[in-house]
């Protein structure tokens, strides 16, 4: 999974400079609103909202926008849409399994957007359940290395449910059960470590190795899917060796 994780990290760093910045802002604001609606508008009592706000701040979303989204979701202000979470499943080029997580107020529009992006980029839709069994819901925290060593991180998180710590170059990736995500994030904060993001994510249990051509094709598909307004996250089970990733970059 190192290739996939490093690619995701690279994309994360580029996002702030990306032409799609407005689109990224919209998705992060939507996350805040939905988290507040689901678990209440107080970040101290709603860990999902806390993490959504932190992620928005890290990506330079204006504080006013974040606060308005929090208030809309929490019912302190009128407005906001009736967002629904929908998962679509499919296959990309080379048989790569793809999970597409949408947050939408229009199921038909979301389905049409996802289907179009899939078929135009060498993918195909699949029946519910035919792909999702290859993924596990996990907590994933990205922590900038700075001067930290792997032992420092392990010491902080091992007793609160962390399953593995992966070296991604400039960052560490800490994986846990999704239910242990808040405990891991809180332990890092308690140790004085400033994490980059903390998300409940879907990680593959089996992977498909790709060469440079396959990597370019799957990246094109994921870019097209992420460009859809209703798409929040795309998960795929490809594995790309570092040498191939460097060639594709």
Residues forming a β-bridge with 199 = 140
Q: What percentage of the chain has pLDDT greater than the value 70?
A: 91
Predicted pLDDT of residue 20: 62
Comparing 84-133+206-248 with 135-204, is the CATH topology the same?
A: yes
Domain 84-133+206-248 has CATH 3.30.70.980: yes
- For position 22, what pLDDT does the model report? 73
User: pLDDT value at position 179?
Assistant: 94
Q: Which residue has the higher pLDDT, 24 or 221?
A: 221
Rg (CA), the chain: 18
Distance CA 47, CA 64 (A): 20
> How many C-beta atoms lie closer than 10 Å to residue 192's C-beta?
7
User: What gap in Å lies between CA 165 and CA 180, rounded to an integer?
Assistant: 14
pLDDT value of position 3: 46
Over residues 172-199, mean pLDDT = 93
Under 8 Å CB-to-CB from 139, ≥6 apart: which residues?
175, 176, 177, 178, 179, 180, 181, 184, 198, 199, 200, 201
> Measuring CA to CA, which residue among 195, 201, 180 is closest to residue 99?
201
Question: How does pLDDT run across 61-115, given as a tens digit for each residue?
Answer: 999 999 999 999 988 888 777 889 999 999 999 999 999 999 999 999 999 999 9
Contact between 96 and 208 under an 8 Å Cβ cutoff? The reply is yes
Helix (H) or strand (E) holding 85: strand 84-91
1 pLDDT exceeds 80? Answer: no
Q: What is the pLDDT of residue 59?
A: 87
The mean per-residue pLDDT over the stretch 168-172 comes to 87
Of the candidates 235, 232, 238, which has an alpha carbon nearest to the alpha carbon of residue 113? 232
- Assess whether pLDDT exceeds 90 at residue 147: no
More confident of the two residues 230 and 81: 230
Nearest Cα neighbor of 134 from 207, 201, 217, 215 is: 207
Minimum mean pLDDT range among 13-22, 25-34, 37-46, 85-94: 13-22
Distance of alpha carbon 166 from the chain centroid: 17
Could you tell me the pLDDT band of residue 11, with boundaries at 50, 70 and 90? low
Handedness of CA 179, 180, 185, 187 (dihedral sign): positive
Answer CATH for 135-204 from 3.40.50.1110, 3.40.50.1000, 3.30.70.980, 3.40.50.9100: 3.30.70.980
Strands (E), 110-219: 124-126, 135-144, 162-167, 171-177, 197-204, 208-209
In CATH, which of 3.30.450.20, 3.40.50.1370, 3.90.1150.10, 1.10.10.200 is domain 2-74? 1.10.10.200
3 state DSSP class of 171:
strand
Q: 200: closest CA among 215, 189, 224, 184? A: 184
Q: What is the mean pLDDT of residues 10-27?
A: 64
Domain boundaries, the chain: 2-74, 84-133+206-248, 135-204
Arithmetic mean of pLDDT, 44-61: 92
Tell me the backbone φ, ψ of residue 156, rounded to 5 degrees: -75, -30
- Kindly report the average pLDDT of the chain as a whole number: 88
Determine the average pLDDT of the residues in 171-175.
92
Please check the confidence at residue 34 and state whether its pLDDT lies above 90.
Answer: yes
Dihedral sign computed on CA atoms, order 215, 221, 227, 228: negative
Tens digits of residue pLDDT in 120-133: 999 999 999 999 99
Q: Residue 2: its pLDDT value, please? A: 42
Distance of alpha carbon 30 from alpha carbon 249, whole angstroms = 30
- Segments in 16-106 forming alpha helices (H): 21-39, 47-58, 63-74
What average pLDDT does range 173-182 have in this prediction? 94
């Amino acid at each position: 999974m190192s290739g996939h994780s490093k690619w995701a990290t690279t994309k994360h760093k580029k996002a702030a400079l990306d032409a799609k910045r407005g689109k990224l802002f919209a998705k992060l604001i939507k996350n805040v609103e939905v988290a507040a609606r689901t678990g209440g508008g107080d970040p101290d009592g709603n860990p999902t909202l806390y993490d959504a706000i932190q992620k928005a701040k890290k990506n330079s979303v204006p504080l006013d926008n974040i606060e308005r989204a929090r208030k809309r979701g929490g019912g302190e202000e009128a407005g906001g849409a009736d967002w629904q979470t929908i998962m679509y499943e499919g296959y990309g080029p080379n048989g790569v399994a793809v999970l597409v997580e949408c947050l939408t107020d229009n199921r038909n529009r979301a389905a049409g957007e996802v289907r179009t992006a899939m078929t135009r980029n060498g993918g195909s839709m699949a029946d519910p359940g035919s792909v999702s069994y290859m993924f596990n819901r996990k907590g994933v925290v990205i922590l900038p290395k700075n001067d930290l060593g792997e032992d420092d991180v392990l010491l902080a998180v091992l007793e609160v449910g962390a399953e593995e710590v992966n070296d991604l170059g400039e960052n560490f990736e800490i994986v846990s059960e999704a239910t242990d995500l808040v405990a891991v994030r809180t332990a890092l904060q308690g140790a004085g470590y400033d994490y980059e993001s903390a998300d409940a994510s879907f990680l593959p249990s089996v992977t498909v190795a790709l060469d440079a051509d396959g990597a370019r094709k799957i990246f094109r598909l994921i870019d097209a899917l992420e460009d859809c307004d209703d798409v929040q996250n795309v998960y795929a089970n490809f594995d790309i060796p570092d040498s191939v990733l460097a060639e594709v970059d």
